[in-house]
Amino acid sequence: MTSATFPSSEPKPSWTRYFSFNTDAKVIGIQYIVLSFFYFLIGGLLAMIIRGELITPAADLVDRTVYNGIYTMHGTIMLFLFIFPVLNGLNNLLIPTMIGAPDMAFPRLNAVAFWLVPIFGTLLIASFFVPGGPAYSGWWSYPPVSLQNPLGNLLSGQGLWITAVALSGVSSIMGAVNFVTTIIRMRAPGMTWFRMPVFCWTALAAQSLQLIGLPALTGGAVMLLFDLIAGTSFYRPEGGGDPVLYQHFFWFYSHPAVYVIILPVFGVFSELFPVYARKPLFGYVYVALASFIIVGLGLIVWVHHMFPSGVAQWMRNLFMVTTMLIAVPTGVKVFAWLGTLWRGKLRLTTPMLFCLGGLFNFVFAGITGIMLATVPVDIHVSNTYFVVGHFHYVIYGAAVMGVFAAIYHWFPKFTGRMPYEGLGKVHFLLTFVGANLNFLPMHPAGLMGMPRRVSSYDPEFAFWNVLASLGAFLLGVSIIPFLLNMVSSWVRGPKATHNPWNAIGLEWLLPSPPAEDNFGEHVPTVISRPYGYGLGQPLVENQAAIERELTLQEATP
């Protein structure tokens, strides 16, 4: 029966499928990841310009107006064109293979959602070339700054920005509907909710947040666009409008967006620590359920971004408490990972190093997060580099490092080749040192009072800024070994077996790379919980036979 599962003489699929409207989730996943790294390079280049400007106190590298456009686009590109697409890429690769589905529930919708990304990406990048330049009101585009249109053109950088963000929302909603439906309805026989890998739990939680939060941002953005081009006054105080209303719409989504980013990374940590510590995940049920507590709480914390925006005192107190409460489910996860690592047989491979580094940075970001939740501290450091340092620790220090861990870990599964360990470790070292050198000095600079979004500053902040800029340049260099590794190992790296890390999971019972319909008609029946490391119980029925078959196939050239 199993022999039919692995057709051995299939023609090798052409590489051109990566440039076509393909509906295979594994192709779409790689499309997402590769495209997102293209935008990562653009966003990174903008970051280099920002840090180049800030290495001296004077505004001497770029014009001030240009600088405003650069940091706005840096934030927008990194969030909407890098981190969300790269995570959707991981979702596409991992969700169907982890739950034993042949593809996503709606393959065509999936492809449409992907192809929207280069469309709105091009729109956004094109705004560099319209008269007046790109949007310059920061990645949050608060009115009244975002309602300025000095040239009076219908086509402005800000208008393109809003359109791109709205399209990004459409694409993300399509993706979210697809991921949630797939997880709910297409799990392998025997895979009950509490036999589902934590990555799928966190993806489900994150995508639920997208579904609840994104429409609010889209609604707010539509109103902003009308204010900008149709002459309405939803956010214009002179017409009776309320600029703070936009902030509510924006943060009702954009705070949960942080959890959309970090939850799948929690999933990656939960998948990888057991593999490289050779122990079951500590407190699996609590780790899984904590994701949904984070969803619930994450929806009622958004006003902490608006403590200085003139909100009522009771709101400040309420949202301070809810924000601090988030530390509880997050702490549950952190301690579960520590419990997993405790007395484990640690293997310090590249993915494991990225996980450990990511966890370290995340804990640091969590501590500054609690500081920021406190109203008096927040008002003191609001809009300073302390905030910038905090969220870069979350997004780069934890999330991007988690993404790198995931890429190194699952690279052999989906390309059939092993990444090089040496280059990987160099990449890790440069990233870890670079990130900390870049983002740690932002905290003292912020506490001293250095505001964000300025191109010139008081010379007393110079020392910290020089350190941060050096760290940023190190981060810029760190991408070179990564790209080298990805390209060279994909082209001619050593062939990967079906389970090179000796991991437990449905995706590791597929050949590397898997067939187009994954398990096809022969989906194994799941009979135990995931992460049974060291317990000696099989994950699925007939596991020994399936693995023997895979090994036999790998032995025949």
- What residues line the site for other proteins (CB under 8 A)? 13-14, 17, 20-24, 100-103, 105-108, 173, 176-178, 180-181, 184-187, 189-192, 211-216, 218-220, 222-223, 226, 230-234, 239-242, 245, 248-249, 252, 516-517, 519-521, 523
Nearer to other proteins, 145 or 245 (CB): 245
CB of 298 vs other proteins, minimal distance in Å: 15
When the beta carbons of 202 and 349 are compared against other proteins, the nearer one is 202
Q: Which tokens hold the place of 356? A: 């450990």
Pick between residue 72 and residue 518 the one whose CB is nearest to other proteins.
Answer: 518
Q: Which is nearer to other proteins, 516 or 554 (CB)?
A: 516
**How far are the Cα atoms of 311, 373, 450 from residue 317, in angstroms, in the given order?**
10, 10, 26
Q: Are 352 and 269 in contact (CB under 8 A)?
A: no
Minimum CB–partner distance for residue 213 and other proteins (Å): 8
Please report how close the Cβ of residue 459 comes to other proteins at its closest, in angstroms: 44
Closest to other proteins by CB, 17 vs 278, is 17
The whole-angstrom separation of Cα 413 and Cα 9 is: 19
C-alpha span between 493 and 415 (Å, rounded): 10
Assess contact for 482 and 425: CB atoms under 8 A.
no
Q: Please count the CA atoms within 13 angstroms of the CA of 460 that sit on its side-chain side.
A: 8
Q: By three-state DSSP, how is residue 134 classified?
A: strand
Q: What are phi and psi of 347, to 5 degrees?
A: -110, 115
Rg (CA), the chain: 24
Of the pair 19, 129, the CB lying nearest other proteins is at 19
Compare residues 241 and 389 and give the one whose CB is closer to other proteins: 241
Q: Is the peptide bond before 530 cis (omega within 30 degrees of 0)?
A: no
Query: CA separation (Å) from 428 to 83, 96, 277, 437?
Result: 18, 29, 19, 14
**Complex with other proteins: residue 185 or 345, whichever CB lies closer:** 185
Shortest Å, Cβ 241 to other proteins: 5
**The two three-digit tokens of residue 19, written as one number:** 């440039």
Nearer to other proteins, 226 or 335 (CB): 226
| Residue 66 vs 229, nearer CB to other proteins | 229
**Element spanning 206, H or E:** helix 198-229
* Shortest reach from residue 37's CB to other proteins, in Å: 24
∠ CA(51), CA(46), CA(167), 5° rounding?
A: 140
Tell me how far, at minimum, the Cβ of 190 lies from other proteins, in Å.
8
The answer, yes or no, to whether the previous bond of 144 is cis (omega within 30 of 0) is yes
Q: How far is the CB of 209 from other proteins (least distance, A)?
A: 11
Query: In this complex, which beta carbon is closest to other proteins, that of residue 99 or of residue 430?
Result: 99
315: number of Cβ within 10 Å: 13
Distances (CA, A) of 223 to 38, 58, 115, 161, 413: 31, 38, 26, 14, 45
Q: Shortest distance, CB of residue 142 to other proteins, whole angstroms?
A: 16
For residue 509 the two structure tokens come to 């019972």
Spatial separation of the C-alpha atoms in residues 440 and 434, rounded to whole Å: 10
Helix, strand or coil, per DSSP, at residue 384: strand
CB of 208 to other proteins, least distance (A): 9
Least distance in angstroms from the C-beta of 210 to other proteins: 8
Q: How far apart are CB 453 and other proteins at their closest, in Å?
A: 27
Residue 544, burial from CB neighbour count under 10 angstroms (0-12, 13-18, 19+): exposed
